[in-house]
Every structure is written in structure tokens, then in C-alpha cells.
Amino acid sequence: MSNENHEGKPTLNGDQNLPAHAGEERLSAPVAREGMFGAKTTGDTSGYGRLLVRRPAAQDSERPFTDPDDPRTARFDEIADTLEESLREGPVDFGAAIERVVVDRGELTLHVRREHLPEVARRLRDDPALRFELCLGVTGVHYPQDSGRELHAVYWMRSITHNTEMRLEVSCPDADPHIPSIVDTYPTNDWHEREAYDFFGIVFDGHPSLTRIEMPDDWHGHPQRKDYPLGGIPVEYRGATIPPPDERRSYT
Amino acid sequence: MSTNVTEDYIDASGGDWDEVIAAAQESGAERLVVNMGPQHPSTHGVLRLILTLDGETVTDARVGIGYLHTGIEKNMEFRTWTQGTTFVTRMDYLTPIFNEVAYCLAVERLLDITDQVPDRATVIRVLMMELNRMSSHFVAMATFGMELGATTIMTNGFREREMVLDIFELITGLRMNHGYIRPGGVAQDLPHGAVGKIRELLKEMPKRLKILRKLLDANPLYLARTRDVAYLDLAGCMALGVTGPLLRASGLGWDLRKAKPYCGYENYEFDVPVSDGCDVYARYRVRVAEMEQSLRIIEQCLDRLQSGPVMVDDPKIGWPAQLTLGPDGLGNSPDHIAHIMGSSMEALIHHFKIVTEGFRVPPGQAYAAVESAKGELGCHAVSDGGTRPHRVHFRDPSFTHLQAVAAMCEGGAVADVIAAVASIDP
């Protein structure tokens, strides 16, 4: 908590901590939310109604990915180098396939361009030096403010051989929610991709039978998206009416 | 609901069984499609199996899940980070503690306070997880016995489990759905008498496990129903993402407690039981052996318990009050209430803010995994910097493992489907 300012933005280090730089970056970040308390129907007397909260810009880590002070990151450079070498044998190179690399909280995230996901997944599984033989499924995350790349699919990979783990993140725009399926590389992703499709509407091209899995077949909409209402009804308790959770005052 | 007869198959989706048989005799179709569940007890909650049968042989097994979908992940996006514990504990009522720990580890990683969680809280977490592992394995075995018609296993299993649940009730106040593990520590310190009760369990449980082993280990009936049934080898497990006892019953001693220690598991002495039978019997043997190891860990936990705080020393995160038992049997915090209502306005404001608003979590994402009783349970938490999760996703082992039903059942007898599903312990 301590390394952030009041807007939930991590404090920048070194030279960038100068007010000019900090301000520049803050003002260029997309607006995450306006106003406060989630009040939409009543007049705002708090003065916070015109508040603009900006989300920090997308992070990007530079090499080296291994931080000598953080043992959790010990193998990250090795993974990136091996993958780079392995991809060189194929049709795409590392720079083209991997949009950016993020190291955060001791976790490695590779942002993969969606068209190259199957190639990267296959390399990760089959290269003896990588050998991520276990894919722990995929889940969607909806970032409505991240225009052009609203829907993210997040894959968690684990190598039992080398005891390493990492995350793949693939994004696609809401207007064209297509991501190639990796079920033929990781059969375990069958249901996980169906779930991500069911909840987020991400279409996994090449999936053997992409149907809903949790919701009924004839359901409309994709419930985990941010624009999908939670639902619920007001409840009366001792004469007072308690609104449903998504209409209550919120502090975020 | 009616019997739908085509040239290829007879779809028995309800109705009178005599009619189905008559229709089957009339038509030349060889295959019968039946629904198993979603209401039958052997389908563990509400699981629906759609089986295509050729005589007694299952040619196709398809699984319909979704009857248990309750929108917990969506609901959590409308509650504070602390309130999330209340939701995740209900995701699987047999492994509530594991759900809570996975969630709290993810939130703590987001907050970057993993190292600040007090020792006592970590030891209590391990203690509770290992107790929970035992209670979950007991249910796995009990329901398995019941489904095969062996009610003694069922009554024994549930009786043993009740001993664990009594301890849970003493410590958390509830038999299940505890909401006990919280981001930053645990909700309450161990109450008076808890350690003594756990010591009693440690004394009694080995005898009970011995009885269970005597009853089942070499029981010819049990062996006939479990040996070489629902075979899934290591290659199958890897392809289908199967972890936990099922993976260890196919010969690979992979256990996150050893491989990626969390909550200080590296400081405990225990073995990872492995079997290479790949069948239902091997999974049973692994589970029983794991319970014996759990007892070892619990004993070490009791020795490691040092007095100290059970919540992180950060008033911006830790819950301000500790409950004490009131005369009416309900928990309350008289000292804390006297403090905030009588002596400190700041404490009242702080209490109000942390309870209604919650704490802010720096933006980012984290994944934390624990070795639950059923396999790798992962929690992927995303924060946008607010007081509520932007997204929380659970990688649930049962969800993944149920994909293996087709691989385990197809080509086998219809009676073995029950054994297969029960051995997955969804």
C-alpha cells in the first residue's frame, strides 16, 4: 500500500518522480472512472462528483527480467531467452510474437499477439528447455476502458520438469473477439475455453465444440463482462430498503 | 420427457422404464442414450452424465455441468476484498479452507504483504488446511462407499469427518463456509481448548484410519470394484491437466506443497504418497496415505504454534476487532466497541472506513495456487486499484478433472462410471 499515491497509482522511481513527469503520465492515462460513491441518481453534494480517476498506463518491463534481489524471478531471463531461441526456428520471431513482457510481483507475464498464440504455446510445451507441460486453463478479464483490446485471455502455464511458472496474456478487441484455440496443444483447455467463451464472449477459433458450459444454451449475453448487470432486487429490512449490491454506494 | 426412438439410437430421457424397454425391443437400434443425474446422489451435487450405451458398455460419456453455477466470481466484483472470503468459501463446501487460503494468498501477493503475515496465522492456516484435507478425503471415501452400496464405509467416513468438523466449529464457529482465513491473517485466534481438542484427534484418528485400512485395503469386494477401473495414466493426466491425488495415483509425485512451498510448507516434514496403479484403487491408497501425512503435519503445527498476533500489523488492512464469545453464545467485541464508541473518534472513523469501504489494493494481477485436497487450486485476482476486485477467477481442480470422465469411462461398464466419478472426487 505504501508505494502508491492516493490515486492507487504506483509511485514512479528516480527521475520520473519529478512532478512534471508524473503529471504527464497521469494525464495521458485513460480515465477509469468519474465521480465518486457510484451515485448516479441523486445530486452530488460532496464535491467529488467531477473527480477523474486515471488508471496507470500499461506496464512494460525491460530486460533483465531477473531481479537478483527477488528469488521468485530467478528463471525469468532464462525462460525468455529460451523462448526467443526456440521461436527463431519457426516462422515468427520473439519480437513479433511477444508484444511485451511484464514482470510484476514476482510473476512473469508474456503478452502474446493473438495470431501467434498457437505457435508460442506449442514451443512452450515441446521445447525440452521450456517444457511447460501443464496449462492451468484460461480465464477472461474484461477491461472496458482498454479500447481496442478490451478482452484479455489469461493463461497460467506450469512446467513440472523445470518447476517454473508463467502467465500468457492475449488480448482482442470487443468488436472482433477472436483468439485462436490452443486445445490441440493443451487438451485440458477444452472446458476452460468454453467457460471463457460463455462468460466473456471470446471466440476461440479452432475449438472443437465451442458451446456454453455454465449458462443455459439459450442464454443471451456474457455475464462476466463489465457491462453485464449483476442483477438482484432491493430488499426491505426493518422498514428500510436496501438496494441490490450493484446499485449500492461504492468507494472504488 | 419421452422416449425418442430413431434408427440409430433410443434416447431414454425420462418416462416409464417399461416403455423404454418395449421401444428398444421394437426398434432395431443398438444404442441407448441415458441421462445419469443431475439429481442422483452419486453424481456429487448436480452433475449430469449423458451416456450412450451399447448393452452394458459405455460408448460415449458426456458431462453436463453448470447446475452448480452460482455467479460467485461476478458477485465478488461488487464486494470488498475482505468480503470476498465469504464468497470463495462457498465455492466448494468440502474444501472451504483451501478456497479461502488460495484467495487470501492472491490478495496478499497483490498487496505485497506475503512476508508480513504473522507466523502464528500461517501455522493456523496450515493446520486448518491439513484438517480440511482429511475431512475432504473422508467424504471422498464415504460417498464412494455409499455409491457402491457399502454403507459401512459411508457411515464410518462421515463419522470420522465429523471429528474434524467439530474442531472447525470450535475454531471458526461453523462446520463449513467458515470465512475464517482473511487477507492478512486469520479472523480469530484459536479459542481456548482448541489445541487440546486437536491433540485428542491426533490420538484417536490413527486408530480410525487403521480401521478404515483394515476394512478396505485388501477387501476382495472393494478390490473387484476398484482395481483397473477408470484407468488414467500419466500421459492422460498431463494432457487433461489433472493434478492432485489423481496425478499422484498415476506415478508422479507432484505436490505444490513440496514443489512451490507456500505458507511455510518447506518447514514441515512429510512425504508425498505416490502410487502407479492409475486406477480407482490407487487413488484410494493415495488419499488414505495423504491423511496419515496430514496428521504428521498437524502434529508439527501444534509444536510450532507460538503466541503472537494472527493478523498483519497494518491497521489499514487488518480487521480492527477480535471477537469474544458473549453470554448469549454470539461473538462480539465489547472492548473494541467501548473504545470506538466511548473514547476515540479516530478509531470510530477508522473502523467505519475499513468496514464499509475496505482497503485499496494496488493495480495488477496475481496468481496463487495451493495444493487442495483435490488438486491444484489456483486463484487469479486482478485489481484496478480499488477497494473491490476487478476480477477474481478460480482455477478449480474439480472443474478440470471432470473433463477426464470421458477418458476414464468410455469402453468400460456402466457400473464403473459411478466408481470413476467418485474417484475423481469432484
User: Please, what is the angle between helix B119-147 and helix B280-304, to 10°?
Assistant: 150
**A70-104: per-residue pLDDT in tens?**
888 888 888 889 998 888 888 888 888 888 888 88
* Average pLDDT estimate for B391-419: 90
Higher pLDDT among residues A5 and B197, named by residue:
B197
| Number of structural domains found in chain B | 3
- CA-wise closest residue to B242 among B398, B39, B27, B42: B398
In a domain, B318, yes or no: no
Cross-chain residue pair B376–A136, CB shorter than 8 Å: yes
Same domain? For B79 and B48 the reply is no
A135 touches chain B (CB under 8 A): yes
Higher pLDDT among residues A5 and A212, named by residue:
A212
CA-to-CA distance for A18 and B342, rounded, in angstroms?
A: 45
Same domain? For A81 and A24 the reply is no
Q: Which A residues, 80 through 99, put their C-beta within 8 Å of a C-beta on chain B? A: none
A184 touches chain B (CB under 8 A): no
Cβ-proximal residues to B418 (8 Å cutoff; 6+ apart), any chain: B42, B147, B148
Cβ-proximal residues to A39 (8 Å cutoff; 6+ apart), any chain: A49, A249
**A170-226: per-residue pLDDT in tens?**
999 999 999 999 999 999 999 999 999 999 999 999 999 899 998 988 999 999 999
pLDDT at A50: 59
Q: Which of A40, A57, A74 marks a domain boundary? A: A57
Lowest mean pLDDT among A41-55, B188-202, B369-383: A41-55
| Number of structural domains found in chain A | 2
State the amino acid at position B267 in one-letter form: N
Average pLDDT, chain A: 80
pLDDT at A121: 93
In a domain, B233, yes or no: yes
Indicate if the alpha-carbon torsion angle B286, B289, B291, B297 is positive or negative.
Answer: negative
Average pLDDT, chain B: 87
Same domain? For A132 and A142 the reply is yes
Cell 512446467: give the residue.
Answer: A159
**A133-143: per-residue pLDDT in tens?**
999 999 999 98
Same domain? For B133 and B19 the reply is no
Same domain? For A40 and A86 the reply is no
User: Three-class SS string for chain B?
Assistant: CCEEECCCEEEECCCCHHHHHHHHHHCCCCEEEEEECCCCHHHCCCCEEEEEEECCEEEEEEEECCCCCCCHHHHHCCCCCCCHHHHHCCCCCCCHHHHHHHHHHHHHHHHCCHHHCCHHHHHHHHHHHHHHHHHHHHHHHHHHHHHCCCHHHHHHHHHHHHHHHHHHHHHHCCCCCCCCEECCEECCCCCCCHHHHHHHHHHHHHHHHHHHHHHHCCCHHHHHHHCCCCCCCHHHHHHHCCCCHHHHCCCCCCCHHHHCCCCCHHHCCCCCCCCCCCCHHHHHHHHHHHHHHHHHHHHHHHHHCCCCCCECCCCCCCCCCCCEECCCCCEECHHHHHHHHHHCHHHHHHHHHHHHHCCCCCCEEEEEEEEECCEEEEEEEEECCCCCCCEEEEECHHHHHHHHHHHHHCCCEHHHHHHHHHHHCC
State the amino acid at position B209 in one-letter form: L
Nearest-by-Cβ selection for B69 from A167, A191, A214: A214
SS3 of A182, please? coil
Q: Which of A16, A31, A57 marks a domain boundary? A: A57
Q: Which of B48, B64, B80 marks a domain boundary? A: B64
Same domain? For A12 and A103 the reply is no
Nearest-by-Cβ selection for B384 from A55, A107, A248: A55
Q: Which of B20, B47, B64 marks a domain boundary? A: B64
| Radius of gyration for chain A, computed over Cα atoms and rounded to the nearest angstrom | 21
Cross-chain residue pair B75–A163, CB shorter than 8 Å: no
| DSSP H or E segment with residue A193 | helix A189-200
* Average pLDDT estimate for A51-63: 63
- CA-wise closest residue to B170 among B196, B199, B191, B198: B191
Lowest mean pLDDT among A113-117, A155-159, B325-329: B325-329
**B258-305: per-residue pLDDT in tens?**
999 999 999 999 999 999 889 999 999 999 999 999 999 999 999 999
Same domain? For B236 and B351 the reply is no
Give the domain extent around B274.
72-313+360-424
Same domain? For A28 and A98 the reply is no
pLDDT at A51: 61
pLDDT at A8: 45
Residues of B in contact with A187 (CB under 8 A): 239-241, 403
CA-to-CA distance for A81 and B379, rounded, in angstroms?
A: 28
Q: Which three cell numbers stand for residue B411?
A: 469402453
Same domain? For B18 and B79 the reply is no
Same domain? For A10 and A85 the reply is no
Phi first, then psi, for residue B54 (nearest 5°) are -120, 95
Same domain? For B211 and B264 the reply is yes
Cis peptide before A64 (omega within 30 of 0): yes
Cross-chain residue pair A134–B366, CB shorter than 8 Å: no
Q: Which of B304, B337, B357 marks a domain boundary? A: B357
Q: How far is CA B223 from the centre of its chain?
A: 26
Cβ-proximal residues to B330 (8 Å cutoff; 6+ apart), any chain: none
| DSSP H or E segment with residue A171 | strand A164-172
A22 touches chain B (CB under 8 A): no
- ipTM, two decimals, is 0.88
Indicate if the alpha-carbon torsion angle B230, B234, B237, B243 is positive or negative.
Answer: positive
Same domain? For A82 and A22 the reply is no
Same domain? For A42 and A154 the reply is no
Same domain? For A209 and A85 the reply is yes
Bridge-based pairing of strands B31-36 and B9-12 is parallel
CATH number of the domain encompassing residue B256: 1.10.645.10
Give A27's pLDDT tier (boundaries 50, 70, 90): low
SS3 of A24, please? helix
List residues bridging with A203 in a β-sheet.
A178
Query: From edge to edge, which strands make up the β-sheet containing B364-372?
Result: B364-372, B375-383, B391-395
**B107-165: per-residue pLDDT in tens?**
999 998 999 999 999 999 999 999 999 999 999 888 888 888 888 988 999 999 999 99
Cα dist from B347 to A176, B56, B319, B343, whole Å = 51, 69, 12, 9
SS3 of A137, please? strand
Q: With contact defined as beta carbons under 8 Å apart, do A188 and A104 qualify?
A: no
Same domain? For A133 and A169 the reply is yes
Whether residue A21 has pLDDT greater than 60: no
Same domain? For B278 and B370 the reply is yes
How many CB atoms are located within 10 Å of the residue B359 CB? Answer: 19
Same domain? For A96 and A107 the reply is yes
Cis peptide before B315 (omega within 30 of 0): no
* Average pLDDT estimate for B350-373: 89
What region, left, alpha or beta, does residue B358 occupy, with left being phi > 0 and alpha being psi -120 to 50 degrees?
left
CATH number of the domain encompassing residue A204: 3.30.460.80
In a domain, B348, yes or no: yes
pLDDT at A3: 44
Same domain? For B124 and B185 the reply is yes
User: Please, what is the angle between helix B194-216 and helix B151-172, to 10°?
Assistant: 170
Same domain? For B19 and B126 the reply is no
Give the domain extent around A62.
58-252
Q: Which of A57, A75, A96 marks a domain boundary? A: A57
SS3 of A101, please? strand
Same domain? For A220 and A109 the reply is yes
Whether residue A14 has pLDDT greater than 50: no
Same domain? For B394 and B290 the reply is yes
* Average pLDDT estimate for A43-63: 60
Residues of B in contact with A224 (CB under 8 A): 73-74, 391
Cross-chain residue pair A8–B378, CB shorter than 8 Å: no
Residues of A in contact with B395 (CB under 8 A): 136-137, 139, 156
Give A164's pLDDT tier (boundaries 50, 70, 90): very high
